[in-house]
Amino acid sequence: MAVEKATFEAILPYRFIALTFPNPNHSTSHLRIAVLDSPGHPFDPPRVAAMFVPEHRESDWIFCTEPGHLQLLLNSPGISRLILVGNQPENSRPSQPIYRRPVKNDMSYGLGVSLRPLFLALSPKSCFKHGIPEIPILSYEDNVICSVVLGRFVGSLVGEMLVEDVEIEVENGGGRCSNREFRRRLRFKRMPNLIQTEVRVVPKEGFSSNSVEIGEVDFRPDNGVLVHSYLAPMVASLRLIDSRIEERIRSGFRPKALCLGVGGGALLAFLKTQLGFKVLGVEEDEEVLGVARQYFGLEDGELLKIFVGDAMEFFEKVAFRSGGRNASSFNGHEVENGTEMDGVDAEFDVIMVDLDSCDARNGVSAPPLEFRRKHVLLAARSILSDNGILAINVIPQSSAFYETMKCDFLEVFSELYEIDVGNEENVILIATASPVMSSISDSESSFLTKLRKVISGAFMDSIKKI
């Protein structure tokens, strides 16, 4: 496409322009150049950076869509304009090709020097106030060694999504270990850098994971372990009410969990199979549930029920039906929009919230702003048991956002606790319906013993009262 030179003279927030440019290293090929301006306040002078797309990843949503570029920019603090350079994505996909990381990425070798005049031409005028600016070359690195897309789908609410199997490198004690690990991931196009669901997979036919390659055998999900970084800390929050859960179990009742946001269903399956919970999940997009059942081993039944609808509206209606009295169930009734309420409990020992913002322009953030509204929090409080807890995955937009959120929760709940996930991104915020009473016992409860077997004790020990 032809672009006026003056187009790039000033920063225009959110502006996205893509064009092709002759490859100076290959006379017969062209590069795809994407220029994206930061949505935030412009720096003075603005900072421009370039990034080269890893070879053979050109068709990944992260590198070929505006939401993907925007998230790359938002993850590069202080950058006003990002120039992304890559080979032209392949338009045809006759089959699902297997991506294998090149032994050496030669994409940027020599191109950084050859394309410097172009980078300067794409820089705003104000960059030259103090002479010719330096334009750093940013690198994109992740732990994916090999990947293959298993399927692409379109949800009525979440839009395009894909399921992929990946082989990854895992770090152990600060260094990379030699063990191979295979995962299955669910990603949405609207937030391509965010992994919605990730589970461990193992070969179906009993092969050793050390002797197979992606594309050679079929894999099945292993929901006996939580690999998504924030899910294990979220489950660790149950340490605060282990004595309450133990009492329920000894009285012949299963503890009950409400999970807002299902995705692939890894958390729900884990609570049911590993900890003996009766689980209710709420998911707004039915196509997501179809993917979860087909690829992630989600099996709903007597102990795991799924309802389709808006998560916050759903539990507000449960709270309304209970009349604030925490009734035991609503067998045979329907909520106003026709959703069947058969077997829905109106009192839960724990509510676990895994909902993210659906707007890539705000960056990756969780929960949605709507969840901070007082009437929503009151509804959540009203359907918790007297000693229940609400555990929520938080990806704060800023420290001010998180501080305000904590104040909102303290207006409704008795106490607040938090767990630092340790990835410099997620925090698990835990709100309690009643003050947590420390139990003094000569022996550990059987539930806590079970919890320690499946969840790292480090997360339980790191629970901190706010």
119 and 150 in a single domain? The answer is no
User: Which residue type sits at 441?
Assistant: S
**Mapped to the 3 state alphabet, what secondary structure does 218-269 carry?**
CEEEECCCCCCCCHHHHHHHHHHHHHHHHHHHHCCCCCEEEEECCCCCHHHH
Query: Which of 239-253, 269-283, 328-342 has the lowest average pLDDT?
Result: 328-342
121 and 183 in a single domain? The answer is no
171 and 242 in a single domain? The answer is no
250 and 351 in a single domain? The answer is yes
60 and 130 in a single domain? The answer is yes
23 and 112 in a single domain? The answer is yes
Q: Is the pLDDT of residue 268 over 80?
A: yes
Q: Is the pLDDT of residue 262 over 90?
A: yes
pLDDT of residue 338: 41
In terms of average pLDDT, the best of 91-95, 311-315, 435-439 is 311-315
The residues with which 202 forms a beta bridge, in sequence order, are 220
Question: How sure is the predictor about 462, in pLDDT bands with cuts at 50, 70 and 90?
Answer: very high
266 and 207 in a single domain? The answer is no
Domain extent for 411: 229-323+340-465
The residues with which 304 forms a beta bridge, in sequence order, are 279
**Residue 399 within any structural domain of the chain:** yes
pLDDT of residue 335: 40
**Residue 390 within any structural domain of the chain:** yes
**Residue 373 within any structural domain of the chain:** yes
- pTM over 0.85? The answer is yes
**Residue 6 within any structural domain of the chain:** no
Q: Is the pLDDT of residue 315 over 90?
A: no
**Residue 3 within any structural domain of the chain:** no
pLDDT of residue 327: 36
Q: What is the mean pLDDT of the segment spanning 295-308?
A: 94
Residue percentage of the chain with pLDDT more than 90: 60
85 and 195 in a single domain? The answer is no
- CA distances to 107, 110, 244, 412, 413 from 434, in Å: 57, 63, 12, 11, 8
237 and 195 in a single domain? The answer is no
Question: How sure is the predictor about 438, in pLDDT bands with cuts at 50, 70 and 90?
Answer: low
Q: Is the pLDDT of residue 386 over 50?
A: yes
Pair 364, 193: CB distance under 8 Å? yes
CATH of the domain at 379: 3.40.50.150
Q: What is the mean pLDDT of the segment spanning 202-222?
A: 84
Residue percentage of the chain with pLDDT more than 70: 87
289 and 377 in a single domain? The answer is yes
Instruction: Provide the number of structural domains found in the chain.
Output: 3
For the stretch 122-175, pLDDT in tens is 999 999 988 999 999 998 888 899 999 999 999 999 999 999 999 998 876 555
Q: Rounded mean pLDDT of the chain?
A: 86
**Residue 1 within any structural domain of the chain:** no
**Residue 2 within any structural domain of the chain:** no
Q: Is the pLDDT of residue 380 over 70?
A: yes
pLDDT of residue 231: 97
**Residue 77 within any structural domain of the chain:** yes
